[in-house]
Chains A and B, each alone.
Chain A
Amino acid sequence: MQIFFQQVINGLSLGSIYALLALGYTMVYGIIKLINFAHGDIYMLGAFWGYYVINVWHFNFVLALLSAMVVCGLSGVIIEYLAYRPLRHSPRITALITAIGVSFFLENGMSYLFGSNARDFPQAVKQVNYNIGGVRISNIQLEILLTSCILMLILQLIIKRTKMGRAMRAVSVDNAAAELVGVDLNRTISFTFALGSAMAGAAGVMIGLYYNSIDPLMGLTPGIKAFVAAVVGGIGSVPGASLGGFLIGLLETLVQSIGLSAYKDAVVYVVLIVILLIRPMGIFGKNVKEKV
Chain B
Amino acid sequence: MIGLKANFKYNICWFIIMITGFYLMNTLIMVGLVDSFIENMFVMIWINIILATGLNLIIGFAGQFSLGHAGFMAIGAYTTAIITQKAVSIGGFYVSFIVGMIIAVIAALLVGIPTLRLRGDYLAIATMGAAEIIRIIINNMKITNGPAGMFNIPQFATWPIVYVMMCITTIVTVNFINSRGGRVIKSVREDEIAAEAMGINTTKWKLAAFVLGAATAAIAGSLHASYLQTIAPNDFGIMESISILIIVVLGGVGSVTGTFVAAVVLGVLDTVLQDFGTLRMVIYAAALILIMVFKPSGLLGTREISIRRLFSYIKRRSV
Contact = CB atoms under 8 A, between A and B. Distances in A.
B311 to A, nearest CB: 31
Given A91-B253, A224-B238, A266-B137, A273 B130 contact: yes
Given A105-B289, A273-B114, A273-B115, A91 B296 contact: yes
B282 A108 contact: yes
Nearest to B289: A101
A87 interface: yes
Given A93-B249, A101-B288, A265-B136, A290 B279 contact: no
B103 to A, nearest CB: 18
B220 to A, nearest CB: 21
B285 interface: yes
A172 interface: no
A258 B157 CA distance: 43
Contacts of A269: 129-130, 132-133
Contact of B285 (A90, A101, A266, A276): A101
Nearest to B119: A280
Nearest to B127: A273
Interface in A57-89: 83, 86-87
Interface in B88-117: 114-115, 117
A83 B136 contact: no
Contacts of B178: none
A105 B285 contact: yes
Interface residues of A, number: 45
B129 A104 contact: no
Contacts of B246: 97, 100
Given A105-B286, A270-B133, A277 B296 contact: no
Contact of B118 (A83, A87, A100, A280): A280
Contacts of A35: 121, 124
A227 B125 contact: yes
Given A262-B139, A276-B115, 5 more contacts: A91-B297, A93-B249, A104-B281, A108-B278, A263-B140
Interface of A: 29, 33, 35, 83, 86-87, 90-98, 100-105, 107-109, 111-112, 116, 224, 227-228, 231, 262-263, 265-266, 268-270, 272-273, 276-277, 280, 290, 292
Contacts of A111: 278, 281
Nearest to B111: A273
Given A97-B249, A112-B279, A280 B122 contact: yes
Interface of B: 59, 65, 114-115, 117-118, 120-122, 124-126, 128-130, 132-133, 136-137, 139-140, 193, 238, 242, 245-246, 249-250, 253, 278-279, 281-282, 284-286, 288-289, 292-293, 296-298
Interface majority SS (helix, strand, loop, mixed), chain B: helix
State the 7 A-B residue pairs at the shortest beta-carbon distance, nearest first: A90-B296, A269-B129, A104-B285, A105-B285, A101-B288, A108-B281, A101-B289
Contact of B293 (A98, A107, A108): A98
Contact of A272 (B121, B125, B193): B125
Contact of A276 (B125, B136, B253, B293): B125
Contacts of B193: 290, 292
B316 to A, nearest CB: 33
7 contacts: A94-B292, A100-B288, A101-B289, A108-B285, A269-B130, A277-B115, A277-B117
B135 to A, nearest CB: 9
Nearest to A277: B114
A224 B67 CA distance: 13
Nearest to A264: B136
A87 B292 contact: yes
Nearest to A89: B296
A269 B125 CA distance: 9
Contacts of A87: 292-293, 296
A292 B197 CA distance: 11
Contacts of B249: 93-94, 96-97
Nearest to A93: B249
Given A228-B129, A265-B132, A112 B278 contact: yes
B64 to A, nearest CB: 12
A266 B65 contact: no
Nearest to A270: B133
A103 B249 CA distance: 17
A109 B298 CA distance: 25
Given A35-B121, A90-B297, A109-B282, A100 B242 contact: yes
A211 B130 CA distance: 29
A270 B297 CA distance: 34
Contacts of A98: 288-289, 292-293
A265 B132 CA distance: 8
B293 A86 contact: yes
A116 to B, nearest CB: 7
Contacts of A102: 285, 289
B157 to A, nearest CB: 29
B160 to A, nearest CB: 33
Given A269-B133, A270-B133, A276-B125, A97 B288 contact: yes
Contacts of B139: 262
A262 B122 contact: no
Given A262-B136, A269-B129, A94 B297 contact: yes
Contacts of A265: 132, 136
Contacts of A93: 59, 65, 249, 253
Nearest to A276: B126
A220 to B, nearest CB: 8
